[in-house]
Structure 1
Amino acid sequence: MLIDGRAVKSCTVLALQAAGAEVTTIEGLAPAGELHPIQSAFVEHHGLQCGFCTPGVILTTADLLARDPAPDDETIRRALRGNLCRCTGYQAIVESIRAAGAALAEATA
């Protein structure tokens, strides 16, 4: 989840610690029935498979791209360190994040 725009591990945050903060979960990233550009990039570039790690990876991506709209592969991999994915081997995730950054940049240009 995101607390005030920063990715955190929800299992380590007490509700009291989030009091007064803006909390965003994967469900709140885009309006109901729509996909956020990050989610669309993951679908288009096969950055997800079983879905277990997907919410954490996508919210980590949202945090990363808010701070660095065009991260290099090393920066992306460093940002993902706290997310474990046993399905993809991470390359498709990295490609999805690069594509998401480009899509967000295009949308704001």
Structure 2
Amino acid sequence: MDWEPAHGTIIAATSRTGHPQRHQQRAKWVDYNEIGRRRSEGSCLRCGNQGHMIKSCPLLPAQHPNYQRQQNQLTMRKPQVAATASPRRKITPEIAASDIEESGTDDDSGKE
């Protein structure tokens, strides 16, 4: 029995539509009026073209312009330093007893 090398199938990264992913273009963000117009005309809501719907659109989903700016600001923000806790006061038996006496009134207990 002679050995033959296995020929593996190379699977390229593809989009949902089966097209190879080569720096796919992203749809442009549009307002609700434009979305309504596309819906009434039966066009693709993502790109506005006829002949397909959003599920098979070759463009990537649009990103909200403000959201993209927020993402950039988050990565450029100065690192935050954790706040230092103030030292806790030492509980003495006198302080503990006074706290118990204050919380032990019948008005706060809910009893009638």
**TM-score, length-scaled by structure 2:** 0.23
Structure with the larger helix share: 1
TM-score by length of structure 1 reads 0.23
* Greater strand fraction, Structure 1 or Structure 2: 1
Structure with the bigger RCO (C-alpha within 8 Å, sep 6+) is 1
Mark the structure with the bigger radius of gyration: 2
